[in-house]
Structure 1
Amino acid sequence: MRQSAPRFPDGAASRAVLIGCSDFDDIDLPAIPAVKSNLADLRSALTQDTHGILPPEHCRVLADPADHRSVGMALAQAAREADDLLLVYYTGHGLLDEDGLLHLALSSTDPGHVGFTGVPAELVKRHLGRARARLRVLVLDCCFSGRAVAAMTESGSLLSAQLDMSGTYTLTSTTATAPSHAPPGQRHTAFTAALLDALNQAEPLTLDGIHQHIDSRLREAGLPQPQQRSVNAAGNLALVRGPVQSHGEPPTGHEGEIRFRQQPPEPSVDRRRDTVVYVVLLSVLVAVGVLFAGWFATLIAAGGIALFAGLVLLLLLLRRGVHYDLVVDSHGLGTEHGTHSAHIPWKDIERVGVLRRAPGTVLISNVLIVRLKAGAPRPTGFHRRLNQRLPDQRYVILGMLSTYGADPMRLRSTIEHFAGGIYRTDRQLLEMDPRLR
Structure 2
Amino acid sequence: MRQSAPLFPDGAASRVVLIGCSDFDDIGLPAIPAVKANLSDLRSAFTDQTHGILPPEHCRVLADPANHRSVGMALAQAAREAEDLLLVYYTGHGLLDEDGLLHLALSSTDPAHVGFTGVPTDLVKRYLGRARARLRVLVLDCCFSGRAVAAMTESGSLLSAQLDMSGTYTLTSTTATAPSHAPPGQRHTAFTAALLDALSQPEPLTLDGIHQHIDTVLQGAGLPRPQRRSVNAAGDLALARGPVQPPGTSTKAAADGAHEVRFRRTPPTAPPADGHRDTIAAVFFLVALVTLTLLFGGWRVLLITAAAVLGCGGLITLLAVVAERVRYELIIDGQGLRVARGKRSACVSWADTECVGVLRTIANHSNVLIVRLRPDTPRPLGFGKGANHHVPDQRYVIVGTLGTYGVDPVRLRSAIEHFAGGIYRTDQQLLEMDPRLR
Secondary structure of the residue aligned to 1:308 is helix
Task: Give the CA deviation at 1:251.
Answer: 11
CA distance in 1, matches of 2:404, 2:284: 36
Please state if 1:257 is matched with 2:260: yes
1: distance between equivalents of 2:10 and 2:427?
41
Contact 2:175 2:226 in 1 (8 A): yes
Equivalent in the alignment of 1:414: 415
Q: Aligned partner of 2:262: which letter?
A: R
Counterpart of 2:33, as a letter, is P
Normalised TM-score (structure 1): 0.91
Residue of structure 2 in register with 1:15 after alignment: 15
Q: How does 1:397-412 map to 2 (within 5 A)?
A: 397-412=398-413
Q: Could you tell me which residue of structure 1 aligns to residue 366 of structure 2?
A: 365
2: CA distance, partners of 1:135 / 1:355: 40
Deviations 1:16-72 (A, max 9, x none): 011111111221111111111111221122122222111122111111122222211
CA distance in 1, matches of 2:251, 2:405: 10
- Total equivalences in the alignment: 432
**CA contact 1:44–1:246 (8 Å) conserved in 2:** no
| 1:125 paired residue number | 125
Identity of aligned residues (%): 72
Pairing of 1:22-421 with structure 2 (within 5 A): 22-154=22-154, 157=157, 159-248=159-248, 255=256, 256-267=259-270, 269=271, 272=273, 280=281, 283-284=284-285, 286-287=287-288, 290=291, 294=295, 296=298, 301-357=305-361, 362-363=363-364, 365-421=366-422
**Cα distance in 1 between the residues matched to 2:147 and 2:22:** 22
Alpha-carbon distance in structure 1 between the residues aligned to 2:269 and 2:408? 21
In structure 2, distance between residues paired with 1:103 and 1:303 = 62
Give the superposition deviation at 1:315: 1.9
Alpha-carbon distance in structure 1 between the residues aligned to 2:394 and 2:168: 54
Q: State the AA in 2 paired with 1:306.
A: L
Per the TM alignment, residue 154 of structure 1 is displaced from its structure 2 partner at its CA by 3.3
Whole-angstrom CA distance in 2 between matches of 1:311 and 1:231 = 67
Distance 1:158 1:83, change over 3 A: same
**Per-residue Cα deviation, 1:193-231 (whole angstroms, up to 9, x for no partner):** 111122222322221221122122211222112111112
Compute the displacement of 1:278 (Å). Answer: 8.8
Q: SS at the partner of 1:388? A: helix
Aligned-partner residue type, residue 374 of structure 2: K
Q: Matched residues in 2 for 1:326 and 1:228: separation? A: 35
Rounded Cα–Cα distance in structure 2 between residues aligned with 1:262 and 1:203: 31
Q: Deviations for 1:63-101, whole angstroms, at most 9, x for unmatched residues?
A: 112222221121111111111000000001111122222
Task: Measure the CA separation in 2 of the matches of 1:24 and 1:318.
Answer: 37
Quote the offset at 1:383 in angstroms. Answer: 4.4
Kindly provide the amino acid, as one letter, of the partner of residue 351 in structure 2.
K
Superposed CA RMSD in Å reads 2.6
Distance 2:239 2:413 in 1: 22
Matched position secondary structure for 2:7: coil
Structure 1: gaps (5+ residues): none
Match of 1:374, SS state, is: coil
User: Which whole-Å CA distance do the structure 1 matches of 2:274 and 2:260 have between them?
Assistant: 36
